Structure 1
Amino acid sequence: MTFRAKLLRAILAIVMITTAASLLIAQQQNATLFQSVVDRLFAEQMKSFQQTQELPIGAAKVEARRLAQSVRLFAALEEGDPEEVYKIASDELRLGEFAFFRLLDAEGKLIPPGADSRAGVFDAAGLQGEWLPHGKAGAEVDFGFVATQHGTIYRLLACPITNFDETVGTLILGQPMPRETAILLGGQFIGEGVPAALRAALMAQKEPSGRFEVDGVEHRFTRFVLNSGSAYPAADWVSVFSMAELAAQQRVLTLRIVLIGLAALVLAALVAGVLSRQLAQPVANLVKAAQSVREGDYAVNLPQTRTLELNHLGSAFNEMAAGLALRDRYHSVLQKVTDPRVAAEMVAGNIKLGGELREVTVIFCDIRGYTALSEGRDPVEVIHLLNDHMTALARIVQKHLGVINQFAGDAIMVLFGAPKSYGNDAEHAVRCAWEMMQERERLNRDAVEPLRIGIGIATGNVVAGCIGAESRSDYTVIGEKVNLAARLCSSAAAGQILVDAETQTKTRALGAFETLEPLTLKGFAQPVPAFRLAKVNPNEL
């Protein structure tokens, strides 16, 4: 995936996550706020309903006390004359908001009113609920609820009539309630406060408050007992609130947030497209430039952009490319003036000024009759001839893990075992010398000017390292074995490979060696044992 695509995807993902989080938070806050409003509404309804109960209860107490002070009423109650009882009660009472009243005797039995009584009209037939309290009322006002077959709801208040702490009767006052009231009485609803479609689901709820669903619409409810401990049947006030409006608001809110999110996505896509284009092109240029550098083309130059950070990056890359170009030129020159393996060790920092004792096999190879060959020739022609000769031999040296230490005129000096040993260095050297000789013979068959070479090989301990100064040094080896290899090379006839005794001992299994008479060599006090390499087994090449 491209950088531009990743940037665009990241920005769009952030916008989508932010939109989703905003939607979730908004919905939760809206639901919490709505729940708080519903709870407050329920609380206000309960408080209002309780206040409406306190007023008639207080009025009932007043009327009961008024009757308790009537001597005529007590006398009528003792005589058991219903018409006189209701006539006296009607004179004493102030019904006000009450629609009717009824009287009970001291035993709690109903005293029926007369036909012309002013006790108010109340048809007890077909009532939903019981309108007479069970047993005698207590010292306080007791109340319950009933509903007529015509749908009228009455609140009944039963207040005892006492004389000197003796209950002589009970006053029952009936107050009509609004039809919108919802009261659960005896397992049935009275009033129209709860729609019929919700009543079955609401009846199934066991908790005093909570929520339920009908036809996919959530409703919340609360209920509480109005007359706990009353002599009347228990009545529950019920309030139900539909959450359909909240759901509609949630849908509208969701739609708005989604639309805003889509608009933000489009805007973010446009902004991301512009920004990614500003970033993607410089990055693409940087990738292309890096590919060129990897392929060895250091002549790259990233252009300036409109982004400060990318300008810094481009400048740093340009400086790096210039530094790599300079390093490559240094390395190229270093490889030309020294062996590649020595150059690699120098670049790695493994070779420092100074020396170390190492076991090395040294090869010297030079051209026989070089002086006569070069006399009278154009120097350019001679150099061309030598370059072709040295190039062919150098390939063989590198093939056998040798290190060309130096070219000296027509001679070449090769090391095996320094600066790095590959094991069996003497064997590598013998194979290399034999192949050098074979290669030279092959070249002579097609050469206009055949060249004949002689090779000397010696093995032993030498001092290897950089010799010179910190600012300029050469990697080389010094020691008796170096001189011996050079003297053996000088003694070798054209086409001969001479080796010392130590080399012959280490490589005798490679092929056939001819033992020579000890050689008297310059710089050596005693004759030196020498051997001529006659052949190398084909499977050892």
Structure 2
Amino acid sequence: MPNLSFSARLMLAMMLIVTLVTAGALWLMRQRVETSYLRMSEERFRSQIEMFMGMQSVRLESIRERCRMLARSATVVEALQLGSGDLPDGMLRDLKAKARVVRDSATAFDEPTATKPDPPELDNPSKNNSGTELKRRQYRLGPPDFIDLALVSSSGRVQSLKSGAAGNFTPQWLREDRVSFVPREQQTGYLMADTPYRFKMPREVILSPVHEPNTQEILGALAVGLPLSEYGENSLYDLNRPDRPGTISNGIWLENQLFMRTVSIEQPDALGSQVRLAVAKQDAGGPRTVSVRLTLSGTPYQMLLRPLNSNSALPQAWGVMLSSLAGMDAEQKALRNEILGTGALALAAGLFLSYFLSRGLMRPVRALVHGTGRIREGKYDTRVRVMRKDELGTLSESFNEMAEGLQQRERFRSILVQGTDYEVAQRLIESPALGGERRDVSVLFCDIRGFTAVTDGMVPEDIISMLNEHMTVLTECVHKHHGVVDKFVGDLIMAVFGAPESGGDDAGNAARCALEMVERRRTLNTVTAHPLLEVGIGIASGPAVAGCMGSENRLNYTVLGVRVNLASRLCSNAAPGTVLIDSITVHRLELRAVGKLLEEQCFKGFSQPMRPFRLEGMTAEIQPPDEVREPALTGD
């Protein structure tokens, strides 16, 4: 991710959250609306189907009862017992007269019919067979009282009673290959029959078994063909007008053809293909009611297929009902627009709030960043203003406490550096307890000659000012030559070379430092406003013990040993402006020491006298005298 600011990242996070919430809400609402709409549509769909089926059942029950009565009549029994041959005209007239009862029962339930559709409207058989709407003009396969009658023998032979013509023949609406067996119980089925308009329409067929009165043997069946009733269909159509959302249309699938009078679809072939595919699947698993989602001409539909005559002697027919889901899509689109609009407003509000929120958060953060930079620069007096009472406010308070602690620590460090040598102070900071260790060192003592006489009568302030000026110059010399100021004792300064760390050539560093101290003191005498001073310096080299010594509450880093005592004694014996060094230091300086070996002298605390060397310069041309040796030393 690019190096974005905190506020930019906060705004991006807010945008992502709002976008995800909006997308999630859109998806969830779409699922909920679709589920609810489909459930309501299916419930409405099924309730209206049940109403339609109930109305049809009432109608069919009445017609079936009339057909059963007709099948039990002596005329029908006698006609089937005749076997083959023409029916007498009297018997034929009697059958047709009795059939009027069935006709009257059928027409009693049908609604008043309108005029037939104009011939041009029905002149295209492919259009109408595909199932397009016939603009709700009711029509029948004949006049209102038109009815087909046929007798089916137990062997499956069909005898028409459609006309009074002599001879048996198979009518166009009922062929022998269409009746697979004589049913033992009354059955209702459907057949496609020709019409005067050069296209086929479904016929409702009721097969009623005919029994021999005495033996109850099945002699055959009476087939009654009626125009497909519109009873209940018009009521269903009126409840679901095409100009209303959630339109429900019904039809029938029969003999691989779809007939629907209450639906207008621009792609009837596509609907027929969908029905054919659904029916083919049902044929494989047995007829049962199934619901299918499909899209026709860009409009979603819910299609319900139900078997109309399962286990029938007639071809399987399917009831087809189609419910438009365009209303659901419209509601989903409206809801989607509302959610998107709300999401856009929420996004804008989120960006607005995140901008001001980030500003409020960034003010203390920027102050902390600025304060951290100043602390890094060593400005420990930096403080930030506590602007909030939350976690950022607590962080600001913690920062101020940290800065105060660092400032106090730096103050203690400064005091430590002022109270001891810088290198020793650094070591003490890193390791507060510097344990004793044996080191090979060169120790330097420098003392003012005649200090008591010089300061007699001086005011204390002047004495301190003079000593500070003097010690400052000498301390600079020690540090310049890699030495450590061990302590100041009155007018005396003690320096160590080789502890706590060796600077390399510790004896040479101590010698050069001593010579520069004498020279710097003489130079200072020419410019100082204080009385003129002279110093004496003593240097001794050798092993010593170095470490922090004192009490638990007060420690002082120093060195102890015989060579330290010897350096102090040499300083005491040195004349003003001279440097005395011991034999070990002379030996370590090799050819560089320039000076004079003095006579033997006795030093307090040492049992044997020693010959100190007065150092006057440093060069590689003078060889130390042969008498110079390193005597055995003892001291208390």
Give the TM bin, normalised by the shorter chain.
0.7 to 0.9
Contact 1:298 1:324 in 2 (8 A): yes
SS at match of 1:522: coil
Correspondence for 1:103: 150
Q: Which amino acid aligns with 1:465?
A: C
Q: Which amino acid aligns with 2:189?
A: F
2:203 corresponds to 1:154 = yes
The CA distance in 2 between the partners of 1:124 and 1:47, in whole Å, is 34
* Shift, 1:321, TM fit: 2.9
* Shift, 1:511, TM fit: 6.5
Contact 2:420 2:486 in 1 (8 A): yes
Correspondence for 2:87: 81
* Shift, 1:66, TM fit: 1.0
* Shift, 1:186, TM fit: 3.0
2:446 corresponds to 1:366 = yes
The CA distance in 1 between the partners of 2:193 and 2:592, in whole Å, is 131
Correspondence for 1:185: 254
Note the aligned Cα RMSD (angstroms).
4.1
* Shift, 1:406, TM fit: 1.1
Contact 2:266 2:297 in 1 (8 A): no
Contact 2:158 2:176 in 1 (8 A): no
Correspondence for 1:327: 409
Q: Which amino acid aligns with 1:268?
A: G
CA gap 1:61/1:484 in 2 versus in 1, 3 angstroms: same
2:541 corresponds to 1:458 = yes
2:270 corresponds to 1:200 = yes
Q: How does 1:252-401 map to 2 (within 5 A)?
A: 252-305=334-387, 307-348=389-430, 350-351=432-433, 356-366=436-446, 369=449, 371=451, 374=454, 379=463, 382-383=466-467, 385-397=469-481, 400=482
Report % sequence identity. Answer: 25
Q: Which amino acid aligns with 2:178?
A: P
Q: CA offsets per residue over residues 453-500 of structure 1, 9 Å max, x none?
A: 635142324152231452x44332333332133334456675657356
* Shift, 1:257, TM fit: 1.0
CA gap 1:527/1:477 in 2 versus in 1, 3 angstroms: same
CA gap 1:76/1:5 in 2 versus in 1, 3 angstroms: closer
* Shift, 1:22, TM fit: 1.4
Q: Which amino acid aligns with 1:482?
A: V
SS at match of 1:293: helix
Correspondence for 2:226: 174
* Shift, 1:416, TM fit: 4.9
The CA distance in 2 between the partners of 1:288 and 1:225, in whole Å, is 82
Contact 1:302 1:314 in 2 (8 A): yes
Correspondence for 2:21: 18
Q: How does 1:432-471 map to 2 (within 5 A)?
A: 432-437=509-514, 439-440=516-517, 443=520, 449=526, 454-462=537-545, 464-468=547-551, 470=553
* Shift, 1:57, TM fit: 5.1
* Shift, 1:231, TM fit: 2.8
CA gap 1:145/1:33 in 2 versus in 1, 3 angstroms: farther
The CA distance in 1 between the partners of 2:268 and 2:427, in whole Å, is 93
* Shift, 1:417, TM fit: 5.6
The CA distance in 1 between the partners of 2:305 and 2:492, in whole Å, is 116
Contact 1:100 1:173 in 2 (8 A): yes
2:36 corresponds to 1:33 = yes
SS at match of 1:414: strand
Contiguous gaps of at least 5 residues in structure 1: 117-122
The CA distance in 2 between the partners of 1:41 and 1:157, in whole Å, is 30
Q: How does 1:469-488 map to 2 (within 5 A)?
A: 470=553, 472-488=554-570
Contact 1:101 1:173 in 2 (8 A): yes
* Shift, 1:277, TM fit: 3.3
Contact 1:367 1:454 in 2 (8 A): yes
Q: Aligned match of 1:92 in 73, 82, 98? A: 98
* Shift, 1:29, TM fit: 1.5
TM-score of the superposed pair, with normalisation by structure 2: 0.69
CA gap 1:25/1:417 in 2 versus in 1, 3 angstroms: farther
Q: CA offsets per residue over residues 372-418 of structure 1, 9 Å max, x none?
A: 99568863663354144124224315xx3x43221234543234565
Contact 2:294 2:300 in 1 (8 A): yes
CA gap 1:134/1:404 in 2 versus in 1, 3 angstroms: same
With 304-313 and 277-286 compared, the bigger mean Cα shift is at 304-313
Q: CA offsets per residue over residues 283-318 of structure 1, 9 Å max, x none?
A: 333333333333333444444535455444444433
Q: Which amino acid aligns with 1:19?
A: T
Q: What is the count of residue pairs matched by the alignment?
A: 517
CA gap 1:185/1:5 in 2 versus in 1, 3 angstroms: same
Q: How does 1:110-129 map to 2 (within 5 A)?
A: 110-114=159-163
Q: Which amino acid aligns with 2:190?
A: G
CA gap 1:216/1:181 in 2 versus in 1, 3 angstroms: closer
Contact 1:162 1:168 in 2 (8 A): yes
SS at match of 1:427: coil
TM-score of the superposed pair, with normalisation by structure 1: 0.79
CA gap 1:463/1:387 in 2 versus in 1, 3 angstroms: closer
Contact 1:131 1:145 in 2 (8 A): no
CA gap 1:383/1:356 in 2 versus in 1, 3 angstroms: closer
The CA distance in 2 between the partners of 1:132 and 1:181, in whole Å, is 28
The CA distance in 2 between the partners of 1:460 and 1:428, in whole Å, is 15
Q: Which amino acid aligns with 2:147?
A: F
Q: Which amino acid aligns with 2:10?
A: L
Correspondence for 1:119: none
CA gap 1:348/1:170 in 2 versus in 1, 3 angstroms: same
